[in-house]
Amino acid sequence: MLNIVLFGPPGAGKGTQSKRLIEKYGLMHLSTGDILRCEIADETALGIEAKKRIDKGELVPDSIVIGMISNILDHNKYSAGFIFDGFPRTTVQAEVLDEMLELREMKIDRMLALQVHEDELKKRLLIRGQKSGRPDDQDIRIIERRIHIYGETTAPVIDFYLKQDKYSPIDGIKTEEEVFAQIESVIKEILSSDQ
Ligand code: AMP
């Protein structure tokens, strides 16, 4: 089993690289952002509550996203592994994820942290907003708020995995192929040390 946290600020390329990882390694993609957008589209109580925060560029409460992840882990016990995309986004989420995995005799193998500077993130998000129609990608003030929250609340999650010796920085400025090549070389190293 291979469990990866694909980490990085909004617009770093987590979704794009996740698709490649799923194709190549048959992992299950677990994106809290995607799940929340489905809840919003279905107009569920959870979706209506989450939309208020997402539209402002704020994080959704830990308890909501933790509940979603716990459910999915329970329903996909026989997966080849998971890509956690956009989760954990707070240190509390990272701590609870470790507990949830331990209960199921699983663990995170590595945090792959995509690194992209702020100007490039803003540029990418505005372009994505034109194509996807995502409201939180169309307003520069919301984008700046999300990047700010990433720095304040989410980036400290790096320390959590650094302490466990599981942190691998990835240069996210390169082409999609070059970024994936860096990711693959880390994964090969993990798989070979497992044998
Ligand atoms: P994403 O698609 O990962 O950029 O997520 C879109 C939005 O969903 C974020 O800006 C947050 O408002 C919310 N969200 C997604 N994942 C989380 C999480 N792990 N914790 C809190 N809020 C989240």
75-121: pLDDT as tens digits? 998 899 999 999 999 999 999 999 999 999 999 999 999 999 999 99
pLDDT of res. 45: 95
Q: Measure the CA–CA gap between 127 and 123, rounded to whole angstroms.
A: 6
pTM: 0.96
For the chain, residues with pLDDT lower than 50 are: none
112-130: pLDDT as tens digits? 999 999 999 999 999 999 9
Ligand 1, atom 5, lies closest to the CA of 33
In angstroms, what is the span from residue 26 Cα to ligand 1's centroid? 24
pLDDT of res. 150: 98
Other beta carbons within 10 Å of 82:
23
Q: Which mutation among 5, 17, 36 tests ligand 1's pocket best, with the greatest number of atoms within 8 A of CB?
A: 36
